[in-house]
Amino acid sequence: MATVAVPHTGYQRPAVLDWITTVDHKKLGILYLYFTLFFFAVGGILALLVRTQLAVADSGFVGNDAYNQIFTMHASAMLFLFIIPVWAGFGNYFVPLQIGAADMAFPRINALSFWLLPPAGILMFAGFVVDGGAADAGWTAYSPLAQQTGVGMDMWILAVILLGASSTIGAANFLVTMLRMRAPGMTMFRMPIFCWTMLVTALLQLLATPVLAAALVMLFIDRNFGGQFFDPNGGGNVVLWQNVFWFYSHPAVYIMILPGMGIVSEVLPVFSRKPLFGYKAFVFATIGIGGLGFSVWAHHMFTTGSVLLPFFGFMTFMIGVPTGVKIFNWLGTLWGGSISFPTPMLFALGFVSMFLIGGINGTFSAAVPVDFALHDTYFVVAHIHYVLFGGSVFAVFAGLYYWFPKIWGRKLNERLGKLHFALMFAGFNLAFFPMHMLGLDGMPRRIAVYAESTGWGALNLVSTLGAFVIAVSMIPFLIAVIWAFTRPQDQPADPWEGNTLEWATSSPPPVHNFDSLPPVRSERPLFDARHGDGAH
Amino acid sequence: MKRLAAAVALMALALLGAGCQPAAITDEARDMNDLYNVVLIAAIVVFALVAAALVYAIVRYRRRDDALPPQFHGGGKIEAAMVGVPVLIVIGLFTISMITLVGVDDTAEPDDLTIEVTGFQFSWQFTYNLNDLGEGGGGMDAEAEGAVSVIGTPANEPVLMMPVDEPVEFVLRSSDVIHSFYVRDFLYKLDLFPGRVNAFTVTARETGDFRAQCAELCGLNHALMRFTVRVVERGEFDAWIASEAVRQLGDGARVRAR
């Protein structure tokens, strides 16, 4: 009998080379998480500089020029280098696991999506060392102001184009993965809710991000080659930039929050020991938010005098409906449950309560005549932070504490986690609630200094104090992470009594993800396996 | 349960107290403030109800044993209510918003006082055309020519003089980047664009000094683009215009104080 000897080389690539060349969705997911959490820290340090500058009236801490760079880069880091790609990180790791696939549909493209991020991050932040400094026209880069600044602005534009390319091809990859690679038995309406939110997010990215890329290319041409797209003296239109920018950037707000809603909608049912209340309503509400998200962009422009106010006011109110549906989904999930409170659940509940405020204070600006007063004041700064910090960041930590045992095979310490939550929750409200009052009292956003006579000093000091409490809350988190890594990988496949397929494989999962899959007969295959289909 | 209700009620009162807008000094601002108060009350009621339900659920349904709770997935009627209630709330709020919007969207009559506002990096220019001074011609000859201007700098913040109790039209232009004309006690702002003219009209009902500043990031000294709106009686306004006209235009101007 002829045999072919297949030599087992036993060759192992060096770890660094392995991480750089990997196409394993789990390793890429971990790289995404490391990268984005690094920029969360960078953006956080910039936020502390902003808050220190504003702590007292007539402050000269960083100066006007540096201040404009710092708050611009704070927003750019948090939005483009943290929140948007952090969902790609969670999605990379968990979408294939949750649908019972072995990897993403296009593993090499997946690696490309990630490896576009580091050069973009470096390019954007290298602005700080070039002549004229980093981009300083705000993350909104309104023209013609964005035409005036130095080469750091060009670097910012190119970086955002790279990041957009990353998220566009990443979105295509997620869509194909979820549409084509689900496990046998997993119909669309049995897909885990986190996957649904990633699917709608991917659709938004695919449709909206190219518009941003086009706008940025026009801005780049305007700046460097006399394009005059946005220059009224050359027949261009100043307001055009705002229209194309917000056509992307409003849907982008949903890109930044929908996957967070997905994580919370995984965590709440597990720790309430009940299914998500109104699964289909939640899916349709997510699709509704995605669809309506494309028709509300001009509510960022109510004070330009060039907006069809009734239409955009109406659509903006309407987007409150699917958002309200989700609040009911979460309340209904808790109602009648058997609720326990480990750290991921605390962060999920923090999300629900803070996002509730972020939803409600948004309706003020939907009422057009009210927005005339509130637009571009600290009220709006409060609103976006209740949505993107009280919402998205709390969801990021809910996800980290929830999935940490799956990714690394170790649990984060519960006491440290609870301390982290308590400090972050208190610090967050201390930092951002006073901004409502500051906004009502007429404090515009993006000002580097304010006069003593305004009387804004006291509330600003409270807000700054809150920002530092948030920073301190990261200490127990970091200790918990470092401590966890000194311990053995002792976590079972399913430490939380989870519902979805990622808990059907070992922690951490093998390279090929699953040795076998349980049957999928509902959106909770592991619950069915534990309790029998009859319990459903 | 009682304690929860009391805590929620107390929080709602505190929010109501903290959530008030500054005094509105124009007719338009007073209408917009009424709308704001309606939205504020709706917001506090919704927040209080949902927060109370959330806290109640967390306390009432915490895990006590290993028994599996009823596996309730939702149902048609309750899900219809989930959509119906928010729809009713937002349609109601939208309707009153639009009524207010139509009410405050005043257009100036040709003989109203017009103040031309030009924003620049980093201050303001306020221009009063002597043949467009509104009621009674500002004590000027109807054929008066020329204009009175106030130009500020970041260090020397300009004062915008306007008369009380009559409609005043603001015509907004920018000579460089986008700015925003924001007077806190008007509860209003409108952007200034290069290459485009924006305008709005308000009727002030209170005299006094009111702080104001640029609300759209416009570069290095954006924060210093401050000014004061000084609302005065018509007579005082006329006297100020007349003295400025003499000072700025000199004897060559055809100015005649009546």
What are the beta bridge partners of residue B246? none
pLDDT given at position B140: 65
Residue A232 and residue B194: Cβ atoms within 8 Å? yes
pLDDT in tens, A433-484: 999 999 999 999 999 999 999 999 999 999 999 999 999 999 999 999 999 9
Q: Please provide the DSSP assignment of chain B as one string.
A: -HHHHHHHHHHHHHHHHHTPPPPP-BHHHHHHHHHHHHHHHHHHHHHHHHHHHHHHHHHHTB--SSPPPP-----HHHHHHHHHHHHHHHHHHHHHHHHHHHHH-----TTSEEEEEEEETTEEEEEEETT---GGGGGS-TT--SEEEEE--SSS--EEEEESSSEEEEEEEESSS-EEEEEGGGTEEEEEBTTB-EEEEEEB---EEEEEEE-S--STTGGG-EEEEEEE-HHHHHHHHHHHHHHHHGGGS-----
How far B140 CA lies from chain A's nearest CA (Å)?
A: 33
**A451 contact B CB<8A:** yes
pLDDT > 80? residue A14: yes
Taking a C-beta distance cutoff of 8 angstroms, is the pair A525, A518 a contact? yes
The CA angle A148-A210-A171, to the nearest 5 degrees, is 130
pLDDT score recorded for residue A199: 98
Of A64, A337, A364, the CB nearest to B69: A337
- pLDDT tens sequence across A261-298: 999 999 999 999 999 999 999 999 999 999 999 999 99
Q: Which of A3-12, A183-192, A365-374, B52-61 has the lowest mean pLDDT?
A: A3-12
Q: What is the pLDDT of residues A166-204, one digit of tens each?
A: 999 999 999 999 999 999 999 999 999 999 999 999 999
Cβ contacts of B194 on chain A, cutoff 8 Å = 144, 232-233, 238
Q: Of 3.40.50.450, 1.20.1260.10, 2.60.40.420, 3.40.30.10, which CATH number belongs to B113-252?
A: 2.60.40.420
- Judge: B222–A446 Cβ closer than 8 Å, yes or no: yes
- Identity of the residue numbered A517: L
Cβ contact B227:B157 at 8 Å:
yes
What residues of chain A lie within 8 A of the CB of B97, using their CB?
A: 313, 317, 366-370
Contacts of A89 (CB under 8 A, 6+ apart): A29, A30, A31, A32, A33, A35, A36
Nearest CA-CA distance, residue A318 and chain B, Å? 7
Give A70-119 pLDDT, tens digit per residue.
Answer: 999 999 999 999 999 999 999 999 999 999 999 999 999 999 999 999 99
Question: Most A CBs within 10 Å: which of B73, B122, B229, as the mutation test of the A interface?
Answer: B73
The pLDDT assigned to B138 comes to 62
* Closest Cβ opposite residue A334 in set B35, B57, B222: B57
A376 shares contact with chain B (CB less than 8 Å): yes
Taking CA atoms, what residue in A is nearest to B214?
A444
Q: CB distance B101–A335 less than 8 Å?
A: no
Q: What is the per-residue pLDDT for B257?
A: 47
Chain A residues touching residue B221 (CB < 8 angstroms): 64
Comparing A42 with B133, the larger pLDDT belongs to A42
The interface pTM score, or ipTM, of the predicted complex is 0.93
Residues of A in contact with B191 (CB under 8 A): 303-305
Written as one letter, the residue type at A358 is G
How far apart are alpha carbons A347 and A417 in whole angstroms?
Answer: 10
Q: Residue A340 and residue B223: Cβ atoms within 8 Å?
A: no
Burial of A402 (0-12, 13-18, 19+ CB in 10 A): buried
CB pairs under 8 A between A and B: 251
CA A282 to chain B, closest CA, distance in angstroms equals 10
The two tokens of residue B19 are 């959530």
Cα B59–chain centre separation = 42
What is the per-residue pLDDT for A261?
97
Put simply, the answer to whether A376 touches B50 (Cβ < 8 Å) is no
Set of chain B residues whose Cβ sits within 8 Å of the Cβ of A314 = 94
Q: Which CATH number fits domain A28-535: 3.30.200.20, 1.10.150.110, 1.20.210.10, 2.60.40.420?
A: 1.20.210.10
Tens digit of pLDDT for each residue in A299-336? Answer: 999 999 988 889 999 999 999 999 999 999 999 999 99
- A308 neighbors B33 (Cβ within 8 angstroms): no
Q: Which residues pair with B116 in a beta bridge?
A: B127, B171
Inter-chain residue contact B178 with A144, CB threshold 8 Å: yes
CB contact under 8 A, B82 and A366: no
Instruction: Quote the mean pLDDT of chain A.
Output: 94
Q: Hey, are the CB atoms on A334 and B61 less than 8 Å from each other?
A: yes
- The arithmetic mean of pLDDT across residues A13-22, rounded, is 90
Strand partners, B159: B228
Minimal-distance CA residue of chain B relative to A66:
B220
To the nearest whole Å, the CA of A69 is away from the closest chain B CA by 10
* CA atoms of A396 and A347, how far apart (whole Å): 9
Answer yes or no: do B18 and A238 touch at CB < 8 A: no
Which among A306, A366, A376 has the least Cβ separation from residue B216? A376
Judging contacts by C-beta atoms under 8 Å, the chain A residues touching residue B201 are none
The Cβ-side half-sphere exposure at A14, using a 13 Å CA radius, reads 3
CA distance A24 to chain B (A): 36
Name the minimum distance, in Å, from the CA of B239 to any CA of chain A.
29
pLDDT digits (tens), chain B, 258 positions: 677 778 777 877 777 777 888 889 999 999 999 999 999 999 999 999 999 999 999 999 999 998 999 998 887 788 888 888 889 999 999 999 999 999 888 777 778 899 999 999 999 999 999 988 887 666 666 566 789 999 999 999 999 999 999 999 999 999 999 999 999 999 999 999 999 999 999 999 999 999 999 999 999 999 999 999 999 999 999 999 999 999 998 865 554 444
Distance from CA of B254 to the nearest CA of A (A): 36
Whose tokens are 């005549």? That residue is A369
Percentage of residues of chain A with pLDDT beyond 70: 97
- Does A335 contact B224 at a Cβ distance shorter than 8 Å? no
pLDDT digits (tens, 9 = 90+) for A489-528: 999 999 999 999 999 999 999 999 999 999 999 999 999 9
Show residues of chain B in contact with A360, CB under 8 Å. 43, 46-47
Minimal Cα distance from B34: which residue of A? Answer: A370
CA-nearest residue of chain B to A364?
A: B39
Q: CB distance B71–A536 less than 8 Å? A: yes
Provide the 3-class DSSP secondary structure of residue A489.
Answer: coil
Q: Which of A313, A453, A454 sits opposite B97 (nearest CB)?
A: A313
Q: What does A316-336 look like in DSSP terms, one character per residue?
A: HHHTHHHHHHHHHHHHHHHTT
Using the predicted structure, report yes or no on whether residue A5 has a pLDDT greater than 70. no
**Assigned token pair, A303:** 């004070």
Domain ranges of chain B: 2-63+72-104, 113-252
- Please give the residue of chain A at the shortest CA–CA distance from B223: A447
Q: Which two tokens stand for residue A435?
A: 């901004």
- pLDDT tens figures, A201-222: 999 999 999 999 999 999 999 9
